[in-house]
Structure 1
Amino acid sequence: MFEQDFIRCQDYEVHVRVWNRNAKKTVICWHGLARTGADFTELAESLAHQGFRVLAPDTIGRGLSQWADNASTYEVPVYLNHAQSICEYYQVESCTWVGTSMGGIIGMVAATSVLKDKIDRLVINDIGPEIPSAALTRIVEYVSDFPAFETLSSFECRIRELYAPFGERSEQQWHQMAQQCSRRLDNGQFVSHYDPKIVQQFDPSKPPVTLWGLFEMIECPLMLVHGLDSDVLTEGIVDKMQAVKPNMHYLPVKGCGHAPGLHTKKQITPVADFISS
């Protein structure tokens, strides 16, 4: 069972889920672009039982965290500042970083810059130093054009369609996901939890930003989780990552696209083993 904190990160209130608050070893779990820290519930519960404290924030503009006034706030340098504030608030001396998609990008940057002295292990979930333009276009389109639904059950149908690549889920897990990533408007309709402005900084028509030079600079032990059907983390990108980091742990996940949900035993066990090693 987790606890919930609302902490100040610079000028914003950030919601953080906390498992096993008083444990000495810390894992920070950072979600993808349009997701929340709730995505890590199953992984966090497993790690908490193994003696870890797990911190899973909702990035600003998502979940229960405050929304920004300006779309320009929704960018990696701001998220890095908030990650630093979270580490300061919880007095994190060292930690493992588990990042899905956007959270993996933040983790790669943090592990080579502002949190280099704190991140001692890094798990990257279905993201690499570059994103194919077609995949980025797909993500921007569905995030920026999420319709409203009259009922939560109809909203859930949309969630099941969008997040089928995360992997199989039980009926209860789908119900829970729908509740966790929805909000009700004044007219009673349900829409997704996030601020639509979170994608305004992305322009798929521009040359893609690459982080290969930064990726080479990562010094801590590294694990890559790969949804084998992913359009974001292609086989070619994985091959290049393995060539750059031959000692990188690699977890291919069959039957998943972008991105594995880290919610099944087959996914949780190897990730937890890497974190514990």
Structure 2
Amino acid sequence: MTTMLFPRSSYLSIGDHEIHLTTWGDPAAPALVLWHGLSRNGRDFDTLARHFADRYQVLCPDTIGRGLSSWSAAPDDEYTIPAYCGHAVALLDQLGIAQCRWVGTSMGGLIGMALAGTPATAERIERLVLNDVAPRINQSAIERIKAYVTIVPEFASMADFETFLRTVYAPFGHLTDAEWRLMAETSMRRRDSGRISSHYDPAVMRVFAEQFQDFDMWAIFDAITCPVLALRGAQSDLVEPQVAEEMTQRGPKPRLVTIPGCGHAPALNTAEQIAVLEGFLAGI
């Protein structure tokens, strides 16, 4: 196994921010961006990134306000999809990447959708995977997500924190014990008290709670022209079945694949889930 199959950590200056990036694979290989969900970070993709590191330069950023990236002094302006899109384009520009394949989970899918459906940035996205996200998302699921992300609990031990993650993110599907432990270790920070909490800016979730009302990105979705693969967790409450089916009839008319044993959102960490991505990303 070469060093290309191990993660490399770097920090990019983008505007007023320092954005953390985990990179896998050969920098000369085609670029594959894996962008995480609302309260998560780029290390969620370690299993998937390692798999594809022998054929792509795999980029796994931490969105501002999460993981090891900086927090915003203007959260109402910067913890938004348009701002994240600007950071994504700046990241690609700094790395000299004109075009990439994009796999986005939940919020990461919305960023990819916005880039691919906006004329000024559409050519940057060669192929797009939307992992359990849609142009219209179920409001009751938004309320559920608000319930656990707008309150940041604290824990006395890593064992307690990992138990919390296993409960909250059970809809991700099957993770190994090692993957759950990695999630805990890459999701935690110690507070001044020494207790443990999740590693994100609480303002991210406040802005999410305030801004994700009457959400509708159909116009953006309909403008996408690149190939799209839509994934939906079989028990997802975020993407309703009728909305997923409507996606297949509009805009880029993606192929829809339902992932069994998952809700919101499939972790893309099993051989079966990764196999779904293989041919699509290769253009086969």
Please list, as runs of the form range in 1=range in 2, the aligned pairs for 1:211-230 lying within 5 A after superposition. Answer: 211-230=217-236
What is the TM-score normalised by the length of structure 2?
0.93
Instruction: Give 1:46 deviation, angstroms.
Output: 1.1
Instruction: Give 1:36 deviation, angstroms.
Output: 0.3
1:101 match: 106
Work out the CA distance in 2 between the residues paired with 1:57 and 1:205. Answer: 23
**2:67 paired with 1:63:** yes
Whether the aligned pair in 1 keeps the contact of 2:36 and 2:44 (CA below 8 Å) is yes
2:45 match: 40
Instruction: Give 1:206 deviation, angstroms.
Output: 7.7
Work out the CA distance in 1 between the residues paired with 2:209 and 2:189. Answer: 27
Please list, as runs of the form range in 1=range in 2, the aligned pairs for 1:244-259 lying within 5 A after superposition. Answer: 244-245=250-251, 247-259=253-265
Can you list the C-alpha shifts for 1:152-174, whole angstroms capped at 9, x where unaligned?
10011100000110011111111
Coordinate RMSD, CA, aligned:
1.5
**2:187 paired with 1:181:** yes
Structure 2 unaligned blocks of 5 or more: 1-5
**2:159 paired with 1:153:** yes
1:234 match: 240
Work out the CA distance in 1 between the residues paired with 2:27 and 2:262. Answer: 34
Given candidates 74, 77, 81, the residue that maps to 2:82 is: 77
Work out the CA distance in 2 between the residues paired with 1:206 and 1:52. Answer: 34
Whether the aligned pair in 1 keeps the contact of 2:247 and 2:253 (CA below 8 Å) is no
Work out the CA distance in 1 between the residues paired with 2:20 and 2:182. Answer: 18
SS in 2 for 1:229: coil
SS in 1 for 2:248: helix
Q: Which amino acid aligns with 1:10?
A: G
Question: Structure 1 residues 206, 168: closer, same or farther in 2, change over 3 A?
Answer: closer
1:162 match: 168
Can you list the C-alpha shifts for 1:131-158, whole angstroms capped at 9, x where unaligned?
1111111112210112100001001110
SS in 1 for 2:93: helix
Whether the aligned pair in 1 keeps the contact of 2:233 and 2:264 (CA below 8 Å) is yes
Instruction: Give 1:203 deviation, angstroms.
Output: 4.2
Work out the CA distance in 2 between the residues paired with 1:206 and 1:188. Answer: 33
Percent of aligned pairs sharing the same letter: 37
Work out the CA distance in 2 between the residues paired with 1:264 and 1:129. Answer: 26
Question: Structure 1 residues 77, 206: closer, same or farther in 2, change over 3 A?
Answer: closer
Q: Which amino acid aligns with 2:50?
A: E
Can you list the C-alpha shifts for 1:219-268, whole angstroms capped at 9, x where unaligned?
00000111010000110111111121574122211110000001111111
1:200 match: 206
Can you list the C-alpha shifts for 1:45-64, whole angstroms capped at 9, x where unaligned?
11112x11011100000000
Whether the aligned pair in 2 keeps the contact of 1:155 and 1:191 (CA below 8 Å) is yes
Whether the aligned pair in 1 keeps the contact of 2:222 and 2:252 (CA below 8 Å) is no
**How many residues are aligned here?**
276
What is the TM-score normalised by the length of structure 1?
0.96
1:87 match: 92
SS in 1 for 2:273: helix
Which range moves more in the overlay, 17-26 or 55-64? 17-26
1:141 match: 147
Can you list the C-alpha shifts for 1:185-215, whole angstroms capped at 9, x where unaligned?
1211000010010022234798512011111
Can you list the C-alpha shifts for 1:81-103, whole angstroms capped at 9, x where unaligned?
10011111111121101100000
Work out the CA distance in 1 between the residues paired with 2:9 and 2:162. Answer: 25
Q: Which amino acid aligns with 2:89?
A: Q
Instruction: Give 1:10 deviation, angstroms.
Output: 1.0
Runs (4 or more) in structure 1 with deviation over 3 Å come to 202-207
Structure 1 unaligned blocks of 5 or more: none
Question: Structure 1 residues 204, 11: closer, same or farther in 2, change over 3 A?
Answer: closer
Instruction: Give 1:272 deviation, angstroms.
Output: 2.1
Question: Structure 1 residues 38, 203: closer, same or farther in 2, change over 3 A?
Answer: closer
Question: Structure 1 residues 68, 205: closer, same or farther in 2, change over 3 A?
Answer: closer
